[in-house]
Amino acid sequence: MANSWFQFQQFRVNQDRCAMKISTDAVMLGTLAASISTGEILDVGTGTGVIALMLAQRFPEAKVQAVEIDSDAAFQALENFRSNTFSDRMEIWKGRFQDFEPQQNYDLIVSNPPYFPDHLKSSDVQRNMALHTDELSFDDLLGKVIQHLKDDGKFWIILPPRQMQDFQKEAEKHGLFLSIKFTLQDKPGKRIQREICAFSRNQNEVETSAIFIKNEDGTPHESYCKLVRGFLLDFN
């Protein structure tokens, strides 16, 4: 059973009321997402608020806004925001992203979204909402992102490779194009588990890099250590 809280170097995240606990996916997106400017940041489907908190730590001048549809998760994320030193730069909006109408556009938008279609659901309604695309399809997500992303902004997302393929095709229909791709593997030679990608309005050559969590002997790989230093305990 996952802990009811997760301690980072500069903040603590409570997660007992959230369906999706803190994972490597969230941490990787939080360490990698960046844009030319980072004054205004939006986290779509914030869950515990961990990605928003990591971005607030990385970009001290940024104002970070988060959106969350689940009431329990939204309230917990708000508590997590208020209990850290970045609280004066963080806000949360509870509701469907499709209904979100901010007063400004964003330099950087991030999302660790649901990606399973409407099948094989559990009896846990909260978990289904976090995992399945019923409440937020790729088309709906992209439609709002393109509406509220600044002209030179970047949209970052993490998905399994198969879903990222589908997402890239859908993104191009909305005028967003792949610009940066990180692949995430447990060890060198193992299958790619996730892709962390940046999309922008410009069609440029795609930058690609690989991240490995562990070396063959099980010790943390340098590509992983470099990213989580300053965030995870024991990675100073």
| pLDDT of 20 | 85
At 74, the pLDDT band (50, 70, 90 cuts) reads: very high
Please tell us whether the domain made up of 5-228 is placed in CATH 3.40.50.150. yes
The tens digit of pLDDT for each residue in 165-217 reads: 999 999 999 999 999 999 999 999 999 999 999 999 999 999 999 999 999 99
Strand locations in the chain, DSSP E?
Answer: 5-7, 12-14, 40-44, 63-68, 90-94, 106-111, 149-159, 177-185, 192-200, 207-212
| Model pLDDT, residue 187 | 97
The pLDDT of residue 116: 54
Q: Specify the higher pLDDT residue, 128 or 166.
A: 166
From the number of C-beta atoms within 10 Å of its C-beta (0-12, 13-18, 19+), residue 190 rates as exposed
Backbone angles phi, psi at 172, to 5 degrees: -65, -35
pTM across the whole model: 0.91
Banded model confidence at residue 236, pLDDT cuts 50, 70, 90: confident
How do residues 136-170 score in pLDDT, each as one tens digit?
Answer: 999 999 999 999 999 999 999 999 999 999 999 99
**Residue type for 186, please?**
D
pLDDT at residue number 120:
53
pLDDT tier at 118, thresholds 50, 70, 90: low
DSSP 16-55: TT-SSPP-HHHHHHHHH---S--SEEEEES-TTSHHHHHH
Instruction: Indicate the average pLDDT of the chain.
Output: 91
